[in-house]
Amino acid sequence: MGTLCTGTGSWPNCSTSTCWATPPTLDSDLSQGIQPVQGLALCTLSTMGSAEMCRDLAPEVEKLLLQPSPYVRKKAILTAVHMIRKVPELSSVFLPPCVHLLHERHHGILLGTITLITELCERSPAALRHFRKVVPQLVQILRTLVTTGYSTEHSISGVSDPFLQVQILHLLRILGRNHEESSETMNDLLAQVATNTDTSRNAGNAVLFETVLTIMDIHSAAGLRVLAVNILGRFLLNSDRNIRYVALTSLLRLVQSDHSAVQRHRPTVVDCLQETDASLSRRALELSLALVNSSNVRAMMQELQAFLESCPPDLRADCASGILLAAERFAPTKRWHIDTILHVLTTAGAHVRDDAVANLTQLIGGAQELHAYSVHRLYNALAEDISQQPLVQVAAWCIGEYGDLLLEGNCEEIEPLQVDEEEVLALLEKVLQSHMSLPATRGYALTALMKLSTRLQGDNNRIRQVVSIYRSCLDVELQQRAVEYDTLFRKYDHMRAAILEKMPLVERDGPQADEEAKQSKEAAQLSEAAPAPTEPQASQLLDLLDLLDGASGDAQHLPPLDPSPGVALVYLLDLPCAPPPPAPIPDLKVFEREGVQLNLSFIRPPENPALLLITITATNSSEGDVTNFICQAAVPKSLQLQLQAPSGNTVPAQGGLPITQLFRILNPNKAPLRLKLRLTYNHFHQSVQEIFEVNNLPVESWQ
């Protein structure tokens, strides 16, 4: 009876000391043969048996599996389930009795056995193979259950023992998965259960639900699969919210594999968007988005956009991005696509992802025939509401780029609208000044104003004024832009039109374009002697021009305009490529006489492998000066030699400034280098003449 106090589940935790204390008691309780005691012991064991306890007491539990009393047996079986979960090796102990236990009639024992077999199969593929042979028996058990009439003891609202049915169906699912033969054996039974189960109450629906899950998971006949999806479709119409929930969840899992079958229930799914329960409407949203395809995209988008307007705030972001993604994949026409994005931006602008702006500008930029249409619509949208930031950003960009089209006023697709230049400027200024505008938005507006200075017919005083004001803006980014633009007006007016031309289409791959922009930005900072980037100069040039054409995305900045852009470009071209430096060739001392020394140093520039640069250095450590110093050189005929002017012809005494002279030798055939030198100079009031061949020339100088 010692287990009575531990057995009742109110014991809050299983401290190790308690666990150590109980095994001897448990052992004796289990073997004593008093049923209630055994029951309690098994209960304790199954609730908090540690791995050691399970190992120790497994034999006892095994014995109890074969006892006559069902009360103890059913508990022993479930205790075995717990033991296997704790100590998987015990599977070998509890596997053999299972097949025998399946012949029992007692529901509790059957249920426990099936749970045990399920646990064994889930843990070991060998067990799974072993138990496939009981599939026919399981089918028989379930069939008997379904076809027998009402039993007061086990039925719930007309369904015979739904707990047992669900457990059997679950096991059949595991056994039939990826196995043709077993799946075939179950097919008829599953069809029978699916059609005959009473679905007026939850119990029947629970069985039906498990049946559907099993059908979808095994290799079932196509007709059966369609039946299963239809059952789920019926569930969607059920008045019980819980049933609709499980239907939506299951359909979401199936939409990839059985797309066409699920499509048939699209209208019902869309109706579920109106659910008041947030978890249901979220599932309905996910499912609806998954069901959009090219044939139903227009209708679906209408529904989804209507939903976007009324949906709860936590679903807004998902809905907006879902709509945008679907629009991108299935847009029938560009105009429809632009309209859709525009609508999303006006309805839920605050919730769209960051790249929506870039995507839309990219899209509009690419649709030349729609420039006029886009700019008109965006202008109207902006005039109504300047609070939705992504919308304002796109509208500002568009107005800047296509302002001329806006002012022309004729656009076939919408009603002609007379837009005044002053109105446009006023609107952009309003955006600039509004406290609702983010710094990025104001940047867009300022740039747009600037671009309009070339697009509009009137004079630019108003624009110049605005730009001038923002030169002292507190926001550094805006201030920088304003200063640049102002400089553009004042000093480089002749270049303004070229710089503010319409943008070429930006590359779609966002991150890459940013990378290039960053690198060319670095190249453009020429004030310090920056080390040369290793990119070819031509593309750098192009990037610089792109940048000068005006900012598009947030990532690109205008580089600080150097005072003389022309010089800057030339400088750019002159920057040599920076190759990896070759291993330096050691210097060579070739001559020494009375303190006068001659050294050779070699350079092989990597971009020209045939070229060898030799610098001779004449030093004087003696007491007397060296004057009239002349050095001449001769090389074999296959090489070309070019002597540059020496730095001087006097080397003062005692380590005075040495003379250096550069020899350029071209050796395209890599012929062995031979060098003869002739020196003439005056030293200690004597004229010296030396002719010698340089020995020990390093191999690297000509190879």
Partner 1 sequence: MQFMLLFSRQGKLRLQKWYVPLSDKEKKKITRELVQTVLARKPKMCSFLEWRDLKIVYKRYASLYFCCAIEDQDNELITLEIIHRYVELLDKYFGSVCELDIIFNFEKAYFILDEFLLGGEVQETSKKNVLKAIEQADLLQEKTEYHSKSFIGFKKAY
CB of 45 to partner 1, least distance (A): 9
Considering only residues 222 to 241 of the shown chain, the ones binding partner 1 according to CB under 8 A are 241
3-class secondary structure, 401: helix
Q: Count of CB atoms within 10 A of residue 222's CB? A: 9
Do the bridges between strand 588-593 and strand 596-603 make them parallel or antiparallel, or are there none, so unpaired? antiparallel
DSSP string, 568-605: HHHHHHHPPP-PPPPPPPPPEEEEEETTEEEEEEEE--
CB of 100 to partner 1, least distance (A): 19
- Contact, 220 vs 173, CB < 8 A? no
Q: Note whether 269 binds partner 1 by CB under 8 A.
A: no
Q: Note whether 176 binds partner 1 by CB under 8 A.
A: no
Q: Which of 488, 384, 372 is nearest to 430 (CA)?
A: 384
Rule CB under 8 A: choose which of 163, 336, 489, 591 binds partner 1: 163
Q: Note whether 456 binds partner 1 by CB under 8 A.
A: no
Q: Note whether 82 binds partner 1 by CB under 8 A.
A: yes
Q: Which of 356, 347, 279 is nearest to 307 (CA)?
A: 347
Q: Note whether 315 binds partner 1 by CB under 8 A.
A: no
Q: Note whether 270 binds partner 1 by CB under 8 A.
A: no
- At 508, which amino acid appears? R
Q: Note whether 153 binds partner 1 by CB under 8 A.
A: yes
How many residues touch partner 1 (CB under 8 A)? 54
CB of 318 to partner 1, least distance (A): 15
Question: What is the rounded distance in angstroms from the CA atom of residue 549 to the CA atom of residue 504?
Answer: 9
Q: Note whether 331 binds partner 1 by CB under 8 A.
A: no
Q: Note whether 253 binds partner 1 by CB under 8 A.
A: no
Q: Which residues pair with 699 in a beta bridge?
A: none
DSSP string, 175-229: HHTT-HHHHHHHHHHHHHHHHHS--SSHHHHHHHHHHHHHHHHS---HHHHHHHH
CB of 277 to partner 1, least distance (A): 5
Stretch that binds partner 1, among 154-162, 296-304, 416-424, 566-574 (CB under 8 A): 154-162
Stretch that binds partner 1, among 10-18, 263-271, 472-480, 576-584 (CB under 8 A): 10-18
Considering only residues 180 to 209 of the shown chain, the ones binding partner 1 according to CB under 8 A are 202-203, 205-206, 209
Q: Given the complex with partner 1, which of 82 and 316 has the nearer CB atom?
A: 82
CB of 279 to partner 1, least distance (A): 6
Q: Given the complex with partner 1, which of 82 and 377 has the nearer CB atom?
A: 82
Q: Given the complex with partner 1, which of 14 and 532 has the nearer CB atom?
A: 14
Q: Given the complex with partner 1, which of 39 and 322 has the nearer CB atom?
A: 39
Question: What is the rounded distance in angstroms from the CA atom of residue 370 to the CA atom of residue 342?
Answer: 13
Q: Note whether 246 binds partner 1 by CB under 8 A.
A: yes
Question: What is the rounded distance in angstroms from the CA atom of residue 201 to the CA atom of residue 512?
Answer: 59
| Phi, psi dihedral angles at 578 (to 5 degrees) | -100, 95
Q: Note whether 280 binds partner 1 by CB under 8 A.
A: yes
DSSP string, 276-300: SSHHHHHHHHHHHHHH--TTTHHHH
- Contact, 664 vs 670, CB < 8 A? no
- Contact, 279 vs 268, CB < 8 A? no
DSSP string, 486-530: HHHHHT-HHHHHHHTSPPPPPPS-HHHHHHHHHHHHHHH--SS-P
Residue whose structure tokens are 């310090």:
528
Q: Given the complex with partner 1, which of 240 and 515 has the nearer CB atom?
A: 240
Looking at residue 673, the DSSP 8-state letter turns out to be P
Question: What is the rounded distance in angstroms from the CA atom of residue 288 to the CA atom of residue 386?
Answer: 31
CB of 172 to partner 1, least distance (A): 13
Q: Long-range CB contacts (< 8 A, 24+ apart) of 613-617?
A: 613/662, 613/663, 613/664, 613/665, 614/662, 614/663, 614/665, 614/675, 614/701, 615/660, 615/661, 615/662, 615/663, 616/660, 616/661, 616/663, 616/677, 617/658, 617/659, 617/660
Q: Note whether 14 binds partner 1 by CB under 8 A.
A: yes
Give the contact letters, 491-510, x = binds to partner 1 (CB under 8 A), - = no.
Answer: --------------------
CB of 53 to partner 1, least distance (A): 12
Q: Note whether 138 binds partner 1 by CB under 8 A.
A: no
Dihedral sign of CA atoms 584, 586, 590, 593 in order: positive
Rule CB under 8 A: choose which of 28, 104, 146, 156 binds partner 1: 156
Give the contact letters, 569-598, x = binds to partner 1 (CB under 8 A), - = no.
Answer: ------------------------------
In Å, the largest CA–CA distance within the chain is 136
Q: Note whether 416 binds partner 1 by CB under 8 A.
A: no
CB of 180 to partner 1, least distance (A): 23
Q: Given the complex with partner 1, which of 153 and 415 has the nearer CB atom?
A: 153
Q: Given the complex with partner 1, which of 209 and 397 has the nearer CB atom?
A: 209
CB of 177 to partner 1, least distance (A): 12
Rule CB under 8 A: choose which of 29, 74, 215, 269 binds partner 1: 74
Considering only residues 88 to 107 of the shown chain, the ones binding partner 1 according to CB under 8 A are 107
Q: Count of CB atoms within 10 A of residue 473's CB? A: 18
Considering only residues 15 to 54 of the shown chain, the ones binding partner 1 according to CB under 8 A are 36, 39, 42-43, 46-48
CB of 460 to partner 1, least distance (A): 59
Rule CB under 8 A: choose which of 166, 324, 378, 452 binds partner 1: 166
**Length of the chain measured in residues:** 703
Rule CB under 8 A: choose which of 60, 210, 339, 484 binds partner 1: 210
Q: Given the complex with partner 1, which of 251 and 659 has the nearer CB atom?
A: 251
CB of 190 to partner 1, least distance (A): 15
3-class secondary structure, 246: helix
Give the contact letters, 107-126, x = binds to partner 1 (CB under 8 A), - = no.
Answer: xx--xx--x-----------
Instruction: Using alpha carbons only, give the angle 328, 500, 434 rounded to the nearest 5 degrees.
Output: 70
Q: Given the complex with partner 1, which of 204 and 349 has the nearer CB atom?
A: 204
How many Cα atoms sit within 13 Å of 587 on the Cβ side? 10
In the complex, the residues that contact partner 1 under the rule CB under 8 A are: 7-10, 12-14, 36, 39, 42-43, 46-48, 71, 74-75, 78-79, 81-82, 107-108, 111-112, 115, 153-154, 156, 161-164, 166-167, 170, 202-203, 205-206, 209-210, 213, 241-246, 276-280
